[in-house]
Structure 1
Amino acid sequence: MKHNYFKKILLLVILLNYCVVNAQDVGIGTETPEETLHIAGPNTIRVESFSTANNPLNNGVDLAPVYVDYRGNLTLTPPSYNLGMGLPINFLIDVPNFVPDNLLMLAPPYDKLGRVVSNPAGVTYAEQFIYSVPFTAPQNCTIEVKYGLTFLMSSLDLTTNPPESISDLKTRVIQTFFCIDINNDGLSPAEYAVKYGFNGQSYGSDAGGALGYSYMNSQGFASLPPGTHSLYFFGVVLDNPNVETYVGFGGASDYLKVRVYN
């Protein structure tokens, strides 16, 4: 068996050397090769170093992608493989409750409001920066930003009054989005003009109303160069000009995940 194995390896080496020396195409299973090495028919190629026994990145269940490095070598190791952790880098950051509950540094019971967006009487559109989160991209890549935000609605100013249920039978619209500060040097007007992960929900009130945290989530994609960047999150409140609406964004349990695609 070993003799036949080495004969096959020797034959393949001879074929490849012949191809290089004579600048001719070599065909296996075909007499009319169309490439330098052309394997035709239902043949397969086995590379033992890619097997489950020899490579921990092949779990034996899922198909493992094969990468080509800068030298042209085939490998199962992805470009962003972290040797220290021993795992591919899928998420750049994974931050639970990424908006501090008490951004306004208020005393109880006003210490779980996150960032308050105020929309008083006479105003129909109110927008407020909520929070920013920096992260680092290791190379040119596409990122996916997934986030969830809690919010608390009230008919009274949350910074000076306890939450009060809304029962005026009017509809409110709550929106969130984020922008990307490319160089982590402050959000420019051009960067602010590009809004990602835009999401909106409408809420109608009824007699008696209700209090408590609501929840909304969204996601967005962007292509970025390597370096440190920042995500800037914003909250928006739209309502009738004759009513008041105050919304605290991020007062309870939120989440933020940034995933990288190479």
Structure 2
Amino acid sequence: MKAIIAKGALALTIAATAFSFVGVDAASAASQTISASINTVVATNYMVNMSWGAVTGASKYVIKTSNSPHVDEADVDWATTTGTSLSKQMTTAVGYRYFKVYAYNSSGTLLAYSNQVGAAKYQTGTVIRMKTDSSLTSTYPTSSASNYQKPVWFITLDSNSKAANVAPNFQLGEFIAESTITSGVVDPMMIQHVQNARTRKGSAMSINSGYRTPNHNAAVGGASLSRHMWGDAVDVPATTTSDYNYYNSLFSAEGPDYIESFAEAGYSHWHGDWRNEVRDYTNY
């Protein structure tokens, strides 16, 4: 699932660019636009701290939420307040979550609604802000398959987010090989699967490859539709048949949707991915 970076009160700000989805939002007749952002997160409590601009005549603000980046007025009410800021705990499962603020007057008339903001929630309580990155989106291959759509929303990558503990035994940076990228997809559900396998193993587990940008994937000779680009694949070192079979057994309880054969993996690693799990960071 996307300001937010965990372990401590580190703050980032989500860009206030307005997004509109024609034909989706019942609020299209609203005369004003609110600028919203997610400001800070307390990692251990899954707290999301939001703020937005005041709307003239508003008597309440309702924050709507969805696990799909198409939040509209019909979605779930996450919170209601009379102020222009809110701190609240995310209690949903690991994954992506998106929010929009709706402003109403005392008669219940919708006055304005905000840009969309997003967050990715990891099992340790780490929450990392999400953002759009059109330059990165444009590098993705085109496919008609629903689970190969181009990502539009990405987590923010910097030294703080890479150092965040996204699982009891893993930092986010262990799943990212490229040192200069500032956006990426590192799926919270994939990391939980890896952590579950690590817990069963009972000792350290190295990661050969996690997320790859399309350009990096091409440079290392990855498959044209490699799931590493969608952040739900992992490679762990395995140089013998015994090692490969061991990881097959270790990850079997996590139900990977695809496992490379040892030959496909170049006799160097075990590869698994969860390409069919439900997630949404696109705008299709």
Over alpha carbons, which structure has the higher Rg?
1
Same-fold status (TM-score > 0.5): no
Structure of higher RCO (CA pairs closer than 8 Å, 6+ residues apart): 1
Hey, which of these two has a bigger chunk of helix by percent? Answer: 2
